[in-house]
Amino acid sequence: MANNNSKQASTLHSTSPGHQILDRTELRIRDPYIVEHDDRYMLFGTTDPSPWQGPGVGFDRYESDDLERWRGPFPAFRPGPGFWGETQFWAPEVHQYNGGWWMFATFADGAGRRGTQVLTATDPDGLFQPWSDGPVTPPEWMCLDGTLFVDKSGAPWLIFCHEWLQAGEGAIYAQRLSDDLRTSTGAPILLFAASHAPWTRPFRNDETGYDDIAFITDGPFVVRDDAGLALLWSSGGEGGYSVGVARSSTGLITGPWVHQPQPLVGSDGGHAMLLTTRSERFLVFHQPNELTLERLTIRRVAETNGIYLIPPA
């Protein structure tokens, strides 16, 4: 959810009051996440007008038949009375697990607590409701961008970021979840810190008054492929906000993790996920990273011998 330069799309026409048809290049969204369901693509992401300092409004959903033209917005989550999150509603991901649909999303309260909570709905196009008792990330940590991973034994894991604002250097951790996804179990396991990758660069965030040089970690997403396990994640590189790829040398979520030397996206775009359709793979991310200018970006991606690349257009 970084904006370390430090999410207004125009209407094509309306489908019903409050709903529009938008071209992909006009759809403003951060941290996009796409689910294919019932012959439709469903898009979730950070959609609040002011996602850093503003009040948390909720999450919206868009729908498409072809990944290019999108209907919406439709409400995906709205906080009810007494919901602990007040601001920083970020990066909702929607996963199918054990016959149900689960949203993993970041929230923060007014006292500085931030973490990933689990929500649930009967279908991905319904309204999600809180499921876990607050965040499932460590309560004393400032965390974000939790994603679900299910290992070969069927055990669920939360993969998340420990925020650079608290840690100085952002890092990515794995945490076992209970089978019902209500709580976390055991201690978090460090996968890697941002500086472990050769392509990352530190930054100084003058906009927040944070004086020290820091490394960020954002948007982990685990991919199981023919070569084993890969992990997409974002940090700062030579070209700004970027997407990197790491691969587990053991095929286990606990690693060790070896980094692809060059970023997959190296120019002002990030927080990516991999969408696998019947015939193709697509990298889905937002670009550029500047607030109000972000757009849904989709690129075909290829994997050869465990290395991910975006082929030339």
DSSP letters, 213-230, are -BB--EEEEEEEETTEEE
Q: Is residue 8 part of a domain?
A: no
Q: Is residue 2 part of a domain?
A: no
Helix (H, G, I), strand (E, B) or coil at 117: strand
Which amino acid is residue 279, in one-letter code?
Answer: S
Q: Is residue 6 part of a domain?
A: no
Q: Would you tell me how many other CB atoms lie within 10 Å of the CB of residue 110?
A: 9
Q: Is residue 238 part of a domain?
A: yes
User: Residue 48's closest CA among 32, 30, 27?
Assistant: 30
How far is residue 194 from each of residues 172, 224, 259, 287, measured CA to CA in Å?
A: 8, 22, 10, 21
Q: How many domains does the chain have?
A: 1
Tokens 């199918």 belong to residue: 96
Six-digit token string for 226: 């023919």
End-to-end CA distance of the chain: 27
Q: Is residue 1 part of a domain?
A: no
- Domain containing residue 263: 13-309
* pLDDT recorded at residue 11: 29
Helix (H, G, I), strand (E, B) or coil at 26: helix
* pLDDT tens digits, 93-131: 999 999 999 999 999 998 889 999 999 999 999 999 999
3-state helix vs strand vs coil in the chain, percent to 5: 5, 55, 40
Q: Show Cβ contacts of residue 111 under 8 Å, excluding neighbours closer than 6 positions.
A: none
CATH of the domain at 258: 2.115.10.20
Distance CA 1, CA 39 (A): 29
Instruction: Check whether 12 has a pLDDT greater than 90.
Output: no
Q: Is residue 7 part of a domain?
A: no
Lowest-pLDDT range of 12-26, 113-127, 182-196, 260-274: 12-26
Q: Is residue 203 part of a domain?
A: yes
Q: Is residue 68 part of a domain?
A: yes
